[in-house]
Homo-oligomer: A and B are copies of this chain.
Amino acid sequence: MSGRKGAATKRQVATQTGKVARAAAEGRMPSGSPESEQASEGRVEAAYRYLRNAILSNDLPAGFQAAENEIATQLGMSRTPVHEAMARLQEEGFVQILPRKGILVRALTPADLLEIYDVLIALEGAAAELLAAEADRALSSTLAELQASTDAMASALRTDDLDAWRVADERFHDMLVAGCGNSRIKRMIATVAGQSHRARRLTLHLRPAPINSATEHQAIVDAIRSGDVAAAGEAARAHRRHARSQLVPILKRINFRQL
């Protein structure tokens, strides 16, 4: 199980030469995270965002293997920034650096997903508690956003628009952590949430319609609005537990072939 290469062997990276470097020079990213933190923070950041995005969007599927050299050439930079970006990606579990063999895009096993969901349950629960604890602060805008997302989800459910549902769902969870005010929770969730996104997007059309999701979100919003800390945390945790209980069996069934 150690020396075996994944199903997907070496393959060309699907970009033109210097794609990221040129985009970064003009101040825009291919499709960075929703909140653009800073304009251009250097090539290592560019490489990191590009690679992370490529993995999450499955342009670099699990089992993909390449050398720093190739990636650096494709990105129009030297090996150094790619090397540092890879170190970050390895710490976050996206890739594995095989000592003298190259870089391997890791698969997401059901066990990984269970771990990720445990973290999400705990951290989003904490975020909900924090929001509820300061229900009187200037978070009315956050609360309005949460309510709007919940309404959008309910609406999308009525029209069976799963993609719209997914967008609204992601917006809800983004707002939940964005508004909680704890930057560490924010960053930690951002680290693990990407991986769950990948799995959720792939299984979106495989699982039963998330008919309870809007109700559960509404319960979270109500608890936050009323300032009930314990209820908010428990509602958020229950919501993620529920989602996990639906997702994991499906992943086991498709046997993580192309995660």
Chain A interface residues toward B at CB < 8 A: 44, 84, 87-88, 91, 93, 115-116, 118-119, 121-123, 125-126, 130, 182-185, 188, 192
- Nearest residue (CB) in B for A187 is B91
User: In the bound complex, do residue B84 and residue A119 qualify as a contact, i.e. CB atoms below 8 Å apart?
Assistant: no
Q: Enumerate chain B residues within 8 angstroms of A122, measured Cβ to Cβ.
A: 122-123, 125-126, 185
Known contacts A123-B119, A126-B121; A188/B188 CB under 8 A? yes
Q: Enumerate chain B residues within 8 angstroms of A115, measured Cβ to Cβ.
A: 182-185
Q: Tell me the bound Cα distance from A87 to B116 in angstroms.
A: 24
Q: Which 9 A-B pairs have the closest CB atoms?
A: A122-B126, A122-B122, A115-B184, A115-B182, A118-B182, A119-B184, A122-B123, A118-B126, A188-B188
Q: Enumerate chain B residues within 8 angstroms of A119, measured Cβ to Cβ.
A: 123, 126, 182, 184-185, 188
Q: Tell me the bound Cα distance from A84 to B115 in angstroms.
A: 27
Q: Tell me the bound Cα distance from A13 to B222 in angstroms.
A: 54
CB distance from A46 to the nearest CB of B (A): 14
Q: Enumerate chain B residues within 8 angstroms of A126, measured Cβ to Cβ.
A: 118-119, 121-122
Q: Enumerate chain B residues within 8 angstroms of A188, measured Cβ to Cβ.
A: 119, 188
User: In the bound complex, do residue B185 and residue A118 qualify as a contact, i.e. CB atoms below 8 Å apart?
Assistant: yes
Q: Enumerate chain B residues within 8 angstroms of A121, measured Cβ to Cβ.
A: 126
Q: Tell me the bound Cα distance from A183 to B112 in angstroms.
A: 9
Q: A44-B87, A87-B88, A119-B126 are in contact. List 17 more A-B contacts (CB 8 A).
A: A84-B84, A88-B91, A93-B184, A115-B183, A115-B184, A115-B185, A116-B184, A118-B130, A118-B184, A118-B185, A119-B182, A119-B188, A122-B123, A122-B125, A122-B126, A184-B192, A188-B188
Q: Enumerate chain B residues within 8 angstroms of A88, measured Cβ to Cβ.
A: 87, 91
Q: Enumerate chain B residues within 8 angstroms of A183, measured Cβ to Cβ.
A: 115
Selected contact of A84 from candidates B87, B93, B125, B184, CB within 8 Å: B87
Q: Tell me the bound Cα distance from A238 to B176 in angstroms.
A: 23
CB distance from A45 to the nearest CB of B (A): 10
- Nearest residue (CB) in B for A180 is B118
Q: Tell me the bound Cα distance from A134 to B234 in angstroms.
A: 21
CB distance from A87 to the nearest CB of B (A): 6
Q: Tell me the bound Cα distance from A87 to B115 in angstroms.
A: 26
